[in-house]
Amino acid sequence: ISNVATISLLNVPHVIHIGYQLMDHIASDLTENVNNVSNYVIITDTRLAPLYLNKLFESIQAHLKPNQRLLTRILPCGEQTKCRNAKASIEDFLLSEKCTRDTCLIALGGGVIGDLVGFVAATFMRGVPFVQIPTTLLAMVDSSIGGKTAIDTAHGKNLIGSFWQPRRIYMNLSVLETLPKREVSNGMAEIIKTFAISSESDFVKLENGKTQIESALLGFSNRHELYAGKAMLMNIVHTCAAFKADIVTRDEKENDIRGLLNFGHSYGHAYEARLSPEWLHGECISLGLIHEAELSHYLGHCSLAVITRLEQCLQLYELPVKFDENSKKKLELERVMDIMKVDKKNKGAQKRIVLLKDIGSTLENKPTNVADAAIKHVLQK
Ligand code: NAD
Ligand code: ZN
């Protein structure tokens, strides 16, 4: 599969590029389209650098004009890197290299590198162009799209940041072959979320396509199956990315419809605050999706079958659907309710949660006001 598919974003054509073996394509498209710069700076982490940095570096290097420089910076991997210190260290590096406003930052990595580099780009010299090369499934279908950039503080995740749109988002599906299994499931949670709110027929593809998707990610099985699996993976990532791109185009700053992407995240974020780092984001969202479907059912908006289907699909992709006793203890109901109070979606004390009508459709085109008693009822079950 050598084709490159593109998706427009915020009315700019060809922002998102999706395909396999894209390194050379990335180098030529980047140097052709983000070209009035003196410096390109690739920023990545210690896990990705030995895997992909050389190839990307050499590909871009081959396309540089004589007056252009290509620099690299490698940061420790992990969520701790999304912090003020790391932001300052990149800025100091750029300043010491005499980089000015004609610098393009290249984020090669998962959501951690993407969010951090995006935020550096948003404030360095009052804003420089940047591109995303997401390397996790989660970053491809979710964090690289939409322009939300941020760092964490001791008070919580993503509390300092800004909206800053990347000039290009290059999804090179080939890099997913080295992604650990648990990280694949982490990304699947967001894909399941997306199809649960957007399309029953796409949800069915997930229900039926596990073997094919797996063969594409792990690179085994015979050539015919591999080809079908790769086409299926590309189709799923493309559909998911296109859905998010469309929502972001209609509501960039999340006033209403972009709030739908938070399905599973009202409970999910609160669980994450209590259980991270032992539990990954997608694992907390998995429980959040089930509990928000249960809330929808409790309020009379969807059938029991909807919950069951969601649960089975999450299980199929090896996501948790129950808390173990230890995590349950750690959660503490009152603390969860307390954390849910500071959800960015809330309007004052009014909690707003995305409710499901069926697999593939939501009750409203935005999150719905829900009373505390109902939220608590589901938590206590
Ligand atoms: P991550 O960036 O920490 O990556 C997970 C791990 O996988 C890292 O250790 C990384 O080095 C490694 N890795 C990445 N790609 C690899 C590959 N191809 N092969 C082998 N190893 C690879 O985690 P993530 O799940 O991508 O991102 C999580 C972050 O994204 C969180 O900070 C979250 O807040 C943020 N996020 C942001 C948005 C947004 O809209 N901006 C949306 C969702 C999540
Ligand atoms: Zn999420």
Q: How far apart are the first and last CA of the chain?
A: 47
Domain hosting 22: range is 5-178
How high is the pLDDT of residue 349? 79
Report whether pLDDT(154) > 90. no
In angstroms, rounded to a whole number, what is the distance separating the alpha carbons of residues 308 and 74?
44
**157 and 194 co-located in one domain:** no
**232 and 338 co-located in one domain:** yes
332 or 20, higher pLDDT? 20
**149 and 202 co-located in one domain:** no
pLDDT in tens, 201-249: 999 999 999 999 988 987 766 888 888 899 999 999 999 999 999 999 9
Cα dihedral sign, 297-301-307-308: positive
**49 and 64 co-located in one domain:** yes
CB neighbour list of residue 21: distance below 8 Å, 6 or more residues apart: 2, 172, 174
Calculate the alpha carbon distances from 251 to 57, 274, 350, 379 in Å.
35, 30, 21, 31
Residue 130 β-bridge partners: 105
Given a contact cutoff of 8 angstroms between Cβ atoms, the answer to whether 103 and 131 are in contact is no
**126 and 204 co-located in one domain:** no
% of the chain with per-residue pLDDT over 70: 98
Confidence of residue 2 (pLDDT cuts 50, 70, 90): low
**174 and 248 co-located in one domain:** no
How high is the pLDDT of residue 218? 78
Longest dimension (CA), the chain: 66
**103 and 212 co-located in one domain:** no
Q: Out of 130, 145, 178, pick the residue that ends a domain.
A: 178
Please provide the DSSP assignment of 222-278 as one string.
-HHHHHHHHHHHHHHHHHHHHHHHHHHHH-TT-SSGGGGGGTTHHHHHHHHHHHTTT
Cα dihedral sign, 8-90-98-27: negative
CB atoms within 10 A of CB 13: 8
- 142 in ligand 1 pocket by Cβ < 6 Å? yes
Average pLDDT over residues 100-109: 98
Question: ipTM of the assembly?
Answer: 0.99
- 161 in ligand 1 pocket by Cβ < 6 Å? no
Residue nearest to atom 39 of ligand 1 (CA): 143
Report whether pLDDT(333) > 90. no
Residue 284, φ and ψ in degrees, nearest 5: -70, -40
In angstroms, rounded to a whole number, what is the distance separating the alpha carbons of residues 85 and 114?
16
Question: What CATH number does the domain containing 76 carry?
Answer: 3.40.50.1970
- 48 in ligand 1 pocket by Cβ < 6 Å? yes
Q: Which of 119, 130, 138, 194 to mutate to test the pocket of ligand 1 (most atoms within 8 A of CB)?
A: 138
Reported as type and span, the H/E element at residue 218 is helix 210-218
Q: Out of 178, 204, 235, pick the residue that ends a domain.
A: 178
Peptide bond between residue 13 and the one before it cis (omega within 30 degrees of 0) = no
**261 and 355 co-located in one domain:** yes
**381 and 275 co-located in one domain:** yes
Report whether pLDDT(152) > 90. yes
Helices 304-316 and 281-298 pack at an angle, to 10 degrees, of 170
pTM: 0.96
% of the chain with per-residue pLDDT over 90: 86
> 228: CA distance to ligand 2 center in Å?
28
**123 and 241 co-located in one domain:** no
Confidence of residue 146 (pLDDT cuts 50, 70, 90): very high
What is the chain's mean pLDDT, rounded?
95
Catalytic residue among 281, 297, 345, 366: 281
CB neighbour list of residue 248: distance below 8 Å, 6 or more residues apart: 9, 10, 145, 146, 147, 258
Residue 336, φ and ψ in degrees, nearest 5: -65, -45
Bridge-based pairing of strands 12-19 and 5-9 is antiparallel
Report whether pLDDT(3) > 90. no
Which token pair is 342?
């500071």
Report whether pLDDT(354) > 50. yes
Question: What CATH number does the domain containing 219 carry?
Answer: 1.20.1090.10
Report whether pLDDT(25) > 80. yes
Confidence of residue 1 (pLDDT cuts 50, 70, 90): very low
**17 and 102 co-located in one domain:** yes
Average pLDDT over residues 59-68: 97
Specify the number of domains making up the chain: 2
Q: Which atom of ligand 1 is nearest to the CA of 112?
A: 2
Report whether pLDDT(169) > 70. yes
Q: Out of 130, 152, 178, pick the residue that ends a domain.
A: 178
Bridge-based pairing of strands 103-109 and 130-134 is parallel
pLDDT in tens, 240-279: 999 999 999 999 999 999 999 999 999 999 999 899 889 9
96 or 217, higher pLDDT? 96
**275 and 148 co-located in one domain:** no
